[in-house]
Each structure stands twice: as C-alpha cells, then as structure tokens.
Amino acid sequence: MSLKHRIYGFIFNVYNRFLKNKNKISFILDDRESFKDNFTYIEEEFKKHSPNFEFNYIIKNDVSLSNISTLASSRFIFLNDNFFPLAYMDISDKTKVIQLWHGSGAFKRFGYSSIDSSNRDLVNLIRKSSEKIDILSISSKNVLPYYREAFQIDEDKIFNFGIPRNDFYFNPSLDNIRNEILLRFQEKYPEIKDKKIILYAPTFREDVRYNNIFDYFDVDKFQKELGDEYSLIIRLHPRVFDYDKDNSISNKLSKLDNTIINCTDYENEQDLLLISDMLITDYSSIMIDFGLLRKPIIFYAYDLENYLNNERGFYLDYNKDLPGPIVENMDDLVGIIKDNNYDYDRLDKFLNYEFDYLDSNSSKRIVDYLLKQ
C-alpha cells in the first residue's frame, strides 16, 4: 500500500481533531477536468439552499497542507473517482463522504470487478476506502449489484438518487442551449453549416495495437461516401496519446481538413453530445449519456473479438444489450449510417434499465437528503 496514502491520512487525522466548518464543502478532483461536471451541478444545488456554503476544489494528487486541512474541516466531501487516502483517514461523525463516480449506469467493469483479485493489497485498499463512504449515488436499482461489487461497499450505503451531471439533459431550455452552442461551432467551422454532425468518440485500449483509430477509421471514405450530408467530430480518449510514441495519431489529427473537426481537447463533453446528431463509439460509457438525448448510437467495434477476450469486460452482454447496432468494418459502418433506420424502442429499453429517473432532479435528491442528515 502506498506510503503517500498513509502520510496523507496521518496529516488529515491530525487536522481532523481540531477543525470543522458546517458550511464547508470539498470536491476532490481527478487531474481530468472532464470529471468535474457532477460537482458543478451539486454546487449549484447547494447554492439554492444558502449563500453561506463555502466550496473548495482539491486535486487529489496535491498533498499540500492547506488542501488537507481544508478537507479535514469539511462537512461534506464529494468524490468523482477513487481516492485511496480515504483508507487511512478517520472521518468524524460530523463529516459525510459522498461518492458520485464519473460514469453513468453500468457498462464496462471497473473497480474491484476489473482487477486481479489475487492482488490483495489493492483489494484491501478498495475495501478500506469504501468503508469511509457514507453515500454512493447510482442511476438505477438495476445497477446496484455491480456498484456494490466494484466498490466492495455495503448495500445500505447505495442510493439511486441519479447522476448530477445528467440533470443537464432534461433542462427545459435544452433546445436553446443547443442552438447557441451550434451557432458558435458554425462560426468557427463554417463548413459544418447545413450538415448533420456525427461525433466519433472511441475509447482507449489496453492492447495499444488498436489505439490508432486511423488504421481502422477511413476518413477519406467517410468524406467520399457521407461528406455531403454529414460533418465529423473526432474526440479521442486522452490516454491514447500516452502510447503515441511516433506521434502518428497526433500528426494525422493535425492534417485533417476543416470538414473533420478534432475536439479531443475540447473541455465540455456535454456540448459535443448536444450538438451531435449521431454518436459512433465502441466500448465507451459516453454512449449512456448520449442515449439520454434519444439520438442514434452506432458501435464501431473493429477489434471486437480481441477486446472481448482480453480487455476488462462488461456488466452487460455486449452483443445483445447495447442501444444500437454493432459493426466491425468501415463498409458496414457507412452502410448503416446511410440506411438511417435506427431502433428507438431498443434505446428506450436500455434507458429504462440504466435509469430509474429520467428527470433533472438528481442533484436535488442528493442535496436534499444530505441537508436532512
């Protein structure tokens, strides 16, 4: 177990004896800014109750004394990812720890479900950390068994309040928001005007042989077959570039013409989902959020057999339970886009399994519950 985690816990415990502020709320951030969105909606909900709350954003790998003392004096501590120093932190009865997680629903295995159970140190770290969590918010009772296993957490700590960031998709002004975002994109990329937008958002593979999407996604074919009707936005997983040793992916992205837009570094993923008319992905949980918009999703799994046999696996049956068709080559991908015959009943069945609430009140349910404690 990490010495760094133990030291963090020790310092926290010293401060925790003396400090406490009933209005202080801390959010522990991963280095990835895209994981911040759940916290934004929770903060907005707290502000509706009182202007006196103090909000603090702490990068989890920053072990500065000021950050640890802030955390130790907080009434509520919100997580969006694993935070292993918890295993060594003595949380007082006056503090509640809430895990929101950064993914919606259940799709790819994660946490305990995705590791080698013979790694006893990591297993114990997951369990000891989860013991300190008071509330784990999930999207549906159907996914509860998967989260219970992934976190090794007691069932009575799991609540189907929903996922805060998904409140966005049920905003009554969503059409106006979409139009404003789309107008900004059209001003920057006039080539996309009067075209439908397809977002291509593949995930990262542990088998790095398959991470260069340009070996499998033929952008020239896309342009020739679909370019008159569709524009393409590409958003790659950031970990892909950790293994792009020859810069082949980066070089290809830099040479795309203006009709294919690289939005890998675009900060707000929800903007991209909102303006897109269709999503192409593979094994990414982005499809769950996109499904809330009730727009077509196609799964381009060019390495399907290898992924199913060698990667971390799924909670669902990949070949049967997805909310859209699966294709394994570029010809079939182009063909199914041209067919334009999407099964919305299949999507609705998927959403009803993954979500108990299809509304804008997830943040409200969480905050209302906490303030009654």
Same domain? 102 vs 209: no
Same domain? 307 vs 225: yes
Angle, CA 305 vertex, CA 300 and CA 308 arms, to 5°: 90
CB 57 within 8 Å of CB 29: yes
DSSP 244: -
pLDDT one-digit tens code per residue, 124-147: 999 999 999 999 999 999 999 999
pLDDT one-digit tens code per residue, 306-356: 999 998 899 999 999 999 999 999 999 999 999 999 999 999 999 999 999
Same domain? 365 vs 289: no
Examine the pLDDT at 157 and tell me if it is beyond 80: yes
- Parent domain of 18: 3-162+359-371
Examine the pLDDT at 1 and tell me if it is beyond 80: no
Same domain? 286 vs 363: no
Same domain? 141 vs 194: no
Q: What is the mean pLDDT of the chain?
A: 93
- 267: domain CATH number is 3.40.50.12580
Q: What band does 35 get if pLDDT is binned at 50, 70 and 90?
A: low
Neighbours of 55 (CB within 10 A): 17
What is the percent of the chain where pLDDT is above 70?
Answer: 98
Q: Which residues pair with 159 in a beta bridge?
A: 137
* Count of the separate structural domains present in the chain: 2
Same domain? 181 vs 149: no
Same domain? 39 vs 128: yes
Q: What band does 119 get if pLDDT is binned at 50, 70 and 90?
A: confident
- 98: domain CATH number is 3.40.50.11820
- Helices 330-339 and 219-226 cross at an angle (nearest 10°) of 30
Same domain? 24 vs 67: yes
Same domain? 98 vs 237: no
Q: Can you give the pLDDT at residue 34?
A: 52
d(CA 57, CA 77): 10
d(CA 195, CA 231): 6
Q: Can you give the pLDDT at residue 121?
A: 87
Residue type, 182: L
Q: Can you give the pLDDT at residue 226?
A: 96
